[in-house]
Structure 1
Amino acid sequence: MVVADLYADLELDLAYVEERLRDQLRSSQPALEHAAIHLLQAGGKRLRPVFVLLAGKFGDYDIHRLEKVAVGLELIHMATLVHDDVIDNAETRRGNPTVKAHFGNRVAMYTGDFIFAQALSVLSGISQPRAHHILSIAIERMCVGEIEQIRDLYSLQQSFRNYLKRIRRKTALLIEMSCALGAIVSDSDSNVVSTLRRFGYYAGMAFQITDDILDFTASAERLGKPIGGDLRQGNITIPVLFALQDAKRNAELNQLISPTQTPDQVSRAIAIVKESGGITSAQDLADRYLQKAECALASLPSSPARDSLMELAKFVGKRDH
């Protein structure tokens, strides 16, 4: 199975989720609705809803229960994108102007808040208290991850451990929650929920490491935003940390990367990282997380849903944009 086939198999339910997303972004305030719909129309892979729907197939699959999780988590993801673009002063996302660029910082911040409020409205329809407890902890940890990223800006002395903890909180958690909550609302066995949650964690880690690699290797056209954006903003990612292990490159990168760095210095730092083995080492790490994801799934009975989840994990860990 290829990913296109996977999406085709879920086409009707994903179309329903998309319709519900649009419904939730309607507002009596035209400016809020216009800005929120602007982001929705920019598209996206809808990875989190796909993880939710596939996880739901391990229990009592009911799209009307699953859409609450799928829509709610995708709205949380969208809200964080709007806020991130304000913080990062980003002009483009997915090849389109960001909400911040199109409507300004003030409208963008309130749009992010509005989308998050709509997410809470949808998620309140989930009947299992356990799901709400898990979700509240995850959202708190996501905020911690964002603060830790601010704390570590331009810091070349940070450890691999700190990086891995940060990306779990910032990114992997929402994919982990997609798998866990999809299984929970489908009344899956507790062992299945735990296994899918572990799988989602590994797949989410591979996703973010791949994202950090693509920031150096993808074309701006494929990425939908300028390459090297993380380094320009002082966000030190895994390819840089691996490059820093070489003493000579460490010395040069320490001279180049700082809050006062110039565009030329950033370009040189990007070149050093690409010339080093940092990209290859980062890819090896992403591959190891994918292997762990596959091992986690292997404990579940063979099924089309299990095969589809593994195919999706491979896609997020091997994509080119």
Structure 2
Amino acid sequence: MKRLDIFGALKKDMDLIEKELYRSIEGGDSELVETSLHLLKAGGKRLRPVFVLMGGKFGNYDIEKLKHIAVPLELIHSASLVHDDVIDNADMRRGKPTVKAKWDNRIAMYTGDYIYGKALEMTTALSNPEIHQILSKAMVEMTIGEMEQIRDFFNVEQDVRRYLLRIRRKTSLLIAVSCQLGALAADADRQKAAAMYRFGYNVGMAFQIQDDLLDVCGTEKQIGKQPGSDIRQGNISLPVIFALQDARTREPLLQEIEQIHKQDGQGDVSTAISLIRGSQGIQQSEELASRYIAKAIQALDHLPDIRTKKHLKDIAHFVTKRSY
């Protein structure tokens, strides 16, 4: 499955969203427009706007209204990536140089701020105050999640519960509110909006776990960056946490992580990757991702049997099978 081709029915509207994304960052400082375009042109799965549009299918679907939430949610996600790359000192994203690498940290931070501002500017076209309240709270939670990740860099004593709370804030929440706000913007009833939120939350949790697995098990061609980027940056992901709970791999992996930390992430991570791959951490992470997908599909029981419901099931299954 490539480029989420299960969403062929949304192609026309997603083409419109893509054009609106580029249009939305125009009209500002020329360098900030250039850096923002550099990020947007690097591509991406555009999952969040897709979920907005699919949520809208359970209400009064109107692309001219839904675009005012679909575009901002993708912009918010993009802005968070620019800031992430500065924090993580990342040079590559989606196979291309990051804004931080091509320009510098200061330009990257201002680019993220500029994109956030443009996102909020576009949402002013929506009059429902609940939408703005949900969106602002999600942005606050995302920022808290980022701070938690920084505090836990190279923290080998963190447990699964702490990790799950962090990815809820960093990743899952924005996907959940994409589903929810699409329904609310289309005036769907509360039950449908709540079901969409639960679906998005569980898909988002599985999505991040799969990202963690790809960072350990994927290739540079698949993921657009060197495998092992997480552990190199000090981000102790779920497969690593589980591998550290494995008596066979705990001590040698602890030694490798300590060496990586001492070398500021510049050393060889191949031994650490091999240890993680050879542990129970991979299978345990896959099993947990599958449980979240099962919960996501269960949430769909509360939605009417329209074509979009099948598409949502398809995307749920896609999340844990994707290789990029």
Task: Give the TM-score of the pair, scaled to structure 2.
Answer: 0.96
Structure 2 residue 73 is the aligned partner of structure 1 residue 39: no
- Contact kept? 1:17, 1:70, Cα under 8 Å: yes
The aligned counterpart of 1:244 is 244
The aligned counterpart of 2:284 is 281
The aligned counterpart of 1:260 is 262
Segment drifting more, 257-266 vs 17-26: 257-266
Alignment partners' CA distance in 1, 2:198 and 2:4: 25
Q: CA deviation at 1:119?
A: 0.5
Alignment partners' CA distance in 2, 1:254 and 1:93: 28
Alignment partners' CA distance in 2, 1:236 and 1:284: 18
Alignment partners' CA distance in 2, 1:224 and 1:309: 26
Alignment partners' CA distance in 2, 1:144 and 1:84: 13
Alignment partners' CA distance in 2, 1:152 and 1:237: 10
Q: Structure 1 pair 28/160, CA: closer, same or farther in 2 (3 Å)?
A: closer
Alignment partners' CA distance in 2, 1:248 and 1:14: 48
Please list, as runs of the form range in 1=range in 2, the aligned pairs for 1:86-105 lying within 5 A after superposition: 86-105=86-105
Task: Give the TM-score of the pair, scaled to structure 1.
Answer: 0.97
The aligned counterpart of 2:164 is 164
Q: Secondary structure of 1:206's partner?
A: helix
Q: CA deviation at 1:3?
A: 7.0
The aligned counterpart of 1:220 is 220
Q: CA deviation at 1:298?
A: 1.9
Q: Write the deviation string for residues 246-305 of structure 1: whole angstroms up to 9, x where unpaired.
A: 223112222221321465563211110011121111011101100000111022221101
Q: 1:314 is aligned with what amino acid?
A: H
- Contact kept? 2:207, 2:319, Cα under 8 Å: yes
The aligned counterpart of 1:290 is 293
Segment drifting more, 2-11 vs 221-230: 2-11
Q: Structure 1 pair 265/21, CA: closer, same or farther in 2 (3 Å)?
A: closer
Alignment partners' CA distance in 1, 2:147 and 2:187: 35
Q: Write the deviation string for residues 196-226 of structure 1: whole angstroms up to 9, x where unpaired.
A: 1011000000100000000011100111011
Equivalences, count: 321
Please list, as runs of the form range in 1=range in 2, the aligned pairs for 1:39-118 lying within 5 A after superposition: 39-118=39-118
Alignment partners' CA distance in 1, 2:311 and 2:257: 41
Q: 2:248 is aligned with what amino acid?
A: K
- Contact kept? 1:86, 1:109, Cα under 8 Å: yes
The aligned counterpart of 1:182 is 182
Q: CA deviation at 1:58?
A: 0.3
Structure 2: 5+ residue stretches without partners: none
Alignment partners' CA distance in 2, 1:19 and 1:129: 26
- Contact kept? 2:192, 2:302, Cα under 8 Å: no
Q: Secondary structure of 2:269's partner?
A: helix
Question: Which of these residues, 301, 311, 321, is aligned with residue 304 of structure 2?
Answer: 301
- Contact kept? 2:191, 2:302, Cα under 8 Å: no
